[in-house]
Chain A
Amino acid sequence: MQPPASAIDLEDVRLTLPSAAGPVSILNGISLNVASGETMALLGPSGSGKSSLMMIAAGLEAATSGRVTVAGTDITRLSEDALARFRRGRVGIVFQSFHLIPTMTALENVAVPLELIGVHDAFDRSRTALDAVGLGARVEHYPSQLSGGEQQRVALARAMAPEPQVLFADEPTGNLDGETGQEIADLIFALHAQARTTLFVVTHEQALARRCGRVVQLKDGRIVADERT
């Protein structure tokens, strides 16, 4: 049987950021390969570099050195704008703080990435995506009129609507109460099961991590464990 193609391939990735006290090493030679369709959780204590690793893998930040290939594209040397264009349709991101655009309705928030791609029926597809997360009746609501759980559902619909190859989720349940967090987690895995999207979850919750097929642990910018469940 043919091994699955790589969705994410990181080779000796390093990240150093400037600070008032001098350069700070955030990531120290990370090499990681995530297969297409795989679900992976990135665990680690605060300050271990989880979010930075996800940002590099999602093309939100450039690595100081190393090589980053996502969905078959080497994005290591892409410019800011080229990275933005690369993300369109290939990468979906769900944030801990939802990051919906407050001046847009739920429907418009979901439509934005589709509009950026140039999809003709962006709003129809957005409606379908919102139906899929159980918010078909709240499409015209603004973020401020939605609860935290509902906002995260909108964010999930927005990330999944363009049918990306990789879905990054950064502490997707971190800002939600236990029950709502559970619902969101169920939804993420249900959507993954439906679309077979590669799932890259950053979390510090063991329960959420255990639902993934693979758990990678990070400490001080280095991978200290890589287990398949």
Chain B
Amino acid sequence: MNISLAFRLAARQARSGLSGFRIFFTSLVLGVMAIAGVGSLSEAFLTGLAQQGRVLLGGDVSIGLVHRETTNEEHAFLAKHGRTTETASMRAMAYAMNNGVEGARQLIELKATDKHYPLYGHVGTSPNVALKDALACKGTTCGALVEETLLGRLHIARGSIIRVGTQNFRVEAVLVREPDRISGGFSLGPHVLISDTALKRTGLVTYGSLIEYTYRLQAPASLSTDVFRSEANRKFPNAGWEIRTRENPTPGTRSFIDQVTMFLTLTALTILAVGGVGAGQAISAFLDRKRAEIAIFKSLGADGALIFTAFFIQIMAIAALAVVVGNLAGALLPFLVEWLYGTDLPIPASFAVFPQPLLLATAFGLLAAAATAIPALARARDIAPAALFRDAVDRSRTRIRWPYLLASAIAGLLVLLLAIAIAPSKLFAAEFLAGIAGGLVILRLVAGILRWCAGRLPRARNASVRLALANLVRPGAPTAGVITALGLGLTLLATVTLLGHTITSQVSDELPASAPSFFFLDIQPNQAAQFDRIISHFHSAQDYRRTPMIRGRIVSLKGVAARDAKVSADSRWALAGDRGITYAAAPPKGTQIVDGKWWPQNYAGPTLISFDADLARGMGLKIGDTIGLNVLGREIDGRIANLRDVNFGSGRQNFVLILSPGIIDKAPHSFLATVRVAPKDEEPLYRAVTDAFPSVSAIRVKDAIAQVSALLQQLSVGVGAASLLTILAGLLVLSGAIATSQRARLFDSTVLKVLGATRGRIAVIYALEFGLLGIVSGLLSIGIGAAAAWTISKTVFGLPFAFDLGAAVLTVVGGGAATLALGLAGSWQALAAKPNRQLREQ
């Protein structure tokens, strides 16, 4: 075959421009833009995190310890490597003081800093004050910087006095910017900054208090953080500290960005899949129009390979143009975000053009285009020159030669493999893509069945209904394509909406029924009896539980260091950072043991462990295996005695690790208490506890839920936007299908008008046709979407599925209305055309 001739022929063909390729082009632009945009934005954030690693971490290396400060030896080791700073963070209560009387109160995130803080970046205040002066203690009062929200909640202003623990603080300025805030994790209350000297005066620091001490190190650039890490762990194997480095200052944020990027990239691939349905239709329609031309080429001596190559070059050239346009739009997304949000972004971003996501989007776009185009082209390749004389050759019978089917399948498979290869969670990506493929197959099958049934229904008495049904089944009707494409977009939206509803209803509707009203942290042993008494004064108090709690890290599994142990991805979280540990002689109320036995009531032997059954599965642990824990710098080895079902969705106290008493109870610890009271008693209980115990942190579950709900809302807005793009792609496919059938519609409407049909009557026929298409697509989407959401909520989140009737109705009605509107708008030409003119032109 003459390749240069194929190029020449393709170039001549291209003179007709994008005519016939608009849907193909636009679908591809949308898909590539979404992939490139998501990738570019993700890169912008990841690069921002990496570039600002030192500032975000607050040092080149940070060492985190719970409950305890470093020993002299440990501190000397850190100091040897550079300048250090120490901060202590904890949750506490802040009280507004009015003439020495405690007024409004609020849970806060308290951070105490030394004089070297911060090593990198700066603390932003309003008005601008020097940190050292602002936090200094003058007489009995010390200075504090507080976030604006605290002023609102305590109804105070700058200069007001607040009390934390037993110490009074003057609000010297508003805390506007904390350089290392993002590495601090999830906040339950407004941040308050004080000095280390002031913290000691609060009385909150007792042995066993839930305090996180962080040591940040300013090291020379020559210091290898990897070398430092291994040296630190080698010298102090039992320190139980968490070491973070400037290269990855916030592993949680990074992982969050990775996960969101993966989900949005998969959604963008769905856009490509939906667009692919339309693109395939558009290419088939285009080649159908080129039938005669292809037959002419054949009659002049062109063989099938030349025809295939020439049109493949033309289509891939258009695909390449679409990829360029999509990439350009995608690459601009970070700049758009910068323009819209600027410095308000919670994560630092580096706005630039990133080649890697663009290359990825290019690969996805071109492969998807090839996978879509090849089957249609393979059919065109075999158009017989006899088509010039006779149209009776049954087009549907043209079978695609296997090498072309194989090539198309390989291109499609490469798209899937590439998507899975770049996903941080391969299994999730594979399941998502399998879901999309399954959805496509089901939609296509049902669309086929619908066509088949519509063709065999008894003839409707109403002529409009009969004609509308006939439109759905006539040869060349795009019914299957439209239902598949639009249905897939709506299915994704339905899945996301129903899943969002399931999660939010679990968080906001179902939790309060069984969940406590309050969590109380840091109840000291000497306060326990009085605390119990206060609770007992409230008659509506139910499910009161006060449990000893101490923080510790899992450092080894079956004798293998935790970092080297083979652990499934969904269980790894339990090894990252500290976990709450409790001890109990008898199984706590509601404990569900699934394997093994609880230890005897008076057991006093070596430490036994009751462990989370799901985590044990993920970590490959069974009864009798050992788990090594580091508590307050001391290593405790325990043997698993039993495995429990731990339901984190219940909102109750849930401990992954419950130890047998004997050793752990000797360690200094505080208590965690939960209680549920009637709504009328919530405020009085809150006041009673916080009045009596300034050092106890009271977390109102309602407030925490509101915070989580707000976060979920923000997430669902992003995901919803991506789903809407998929529906847009579906509507594009619909408009393409309408455009393709425009000629036939024009002819039909002309004949109907000649026979006496009014424009209103024809509009009713079209409305019935498109309304039916939309409603069927919507109903199918609800069915498949509900099945997908049910599966995901059960298997991924372990939550009971909650069906949302409102969302279901919205999807069906929305899908129907959009299809109807677009269908009627697209058919306007056929409605408006004057029959006499059409007849003259026929």
Contact = CB atoms under 8 A, between A and B. Distances in A.
Contacts of A117: 301
A108 B2 contact: no
A153 interface: no
Nearest to A105: B12
Contacts of B8: 115
Contacts of A103: 12-13, 15-16
Nearest to A112: B300
Interface in B290-317: 292-293, 295-306
Contact of B299 (A19, A87, A108): A87
A116 B300 contact: yes
A84 B294 CA distance: 12
Interface string B381-406: 01011101100101000000000000
Interface in B1-25: 2, 5, 8-9, 12-13, 15-16
Given A17-B392, A103-B16, A104-B12, A84 B298 contact: yes
Given A85-B303, A108-B12, A116 B292 contact: no
A115 B302 CA distance: 10
A81 B299 contact: no
Contact of B292 (A61, A84, A99, A118): A99
Contacts of A116: 2, 5, 300-302, 306
B595 to A, nearest CB: 68
Contacts of B386: 55, 60-61
Interface in A77-93: 80-81, 84-85, 87-89, 93
Contacts of B295: 99
B304 A81 contact: yes
B106 to A, nearest CB: 73
Given A55-B386, A55-B389, A84 B303 contact: yes
Interface in B24-63: none
Interface in B213-231: none
Nearest to A88: B301
A60 B302 CA distance: 12
B5 A115 contact: yes
Contacts of A58: 299
Nearest to A24: B392
Interface in B106-152: none
A175 B398 CA distance: 31
B252 to A, nearest CB: 57
Chain B: interface residue count, which band?
20 to 34
Given A101-B293, A103-B12, A118-B2, A93 B299 contact: yes
A113 B303 contact: no
Contacts of B303: 80-81, 84-85
Contact of A19 (B5, B301, B392): B392
A108 B305 CA distance: 21
Contacts of B385: 55, 60-61, 84
Interface in A144-159: 158
B16 A95 contact: no
Contacts of B298: 60, 80, 84
A80 B388 contact: no
Contact of B301 (A17, A61, A108, A113): A113
A36 to B, nearest CB: 20
A108 B11 CA distance: 12
Question: B16, B295, B296, B297 — which one has the most chain A CB atoms within 10 A of its CB?
Answer: B296
A137 B237 CA distance: 93
Interface string A97-138: 001111110001000110111100000000000000000000
A51 interface: yes
B543 to A, nearest CB: 76
Nearest to B294: A101
A157 to B, nearest CB: 13
B15 A51 contact: no
Contacts of B304: 80-81, 84
A80 B297 contact: no
A172 to B, nearest CB: 14
A102 B295 CA distance: 13
Nearest to B387: A60
Interface string A51-83: 110010010110000000000000000001100
A61 B384 contact: yes
A80 B382 contact: yes
Nearest to A99: B296
Contact of B300 (A61, A81, A108, A158): A158
Given A101-B293, A118-B2, A113 B12 contact: no
A53 to B, nearest CB: 11
Contacts of A118: 2
Contacts of B299: 58, 60, 87, 93, 99
A158 B301 CA distance: 12
Nearest to B13: A103
B301 A85 contact: yes
Contacts of B388: 60, 95, 99
9 closest A-B pairs by beta carbon, nearest first, are A88-B301, A81-B303, A60-B385, A84-B303, A87-B301, A61-B386, A116-B301, A113-B300, A99-B296
12 contacts: A17-B392, A55-B385, A61-B385, A61-B386, A87-B301, A99-B388, A101-B293, A112-B9, A112-B302, A113-B301, A115-B2, A115-B5
Given A81-B303, A99-B296, A116-B302, 15 more contacts: A51-B389, A60-B298, A60-B384, A60-B388, A61-B386, A80-B298, A81-B304, A84-B298, A93-B299, A99-B292, A99-B388, A103-B13, A115-B2, A118-B2, A158-B300
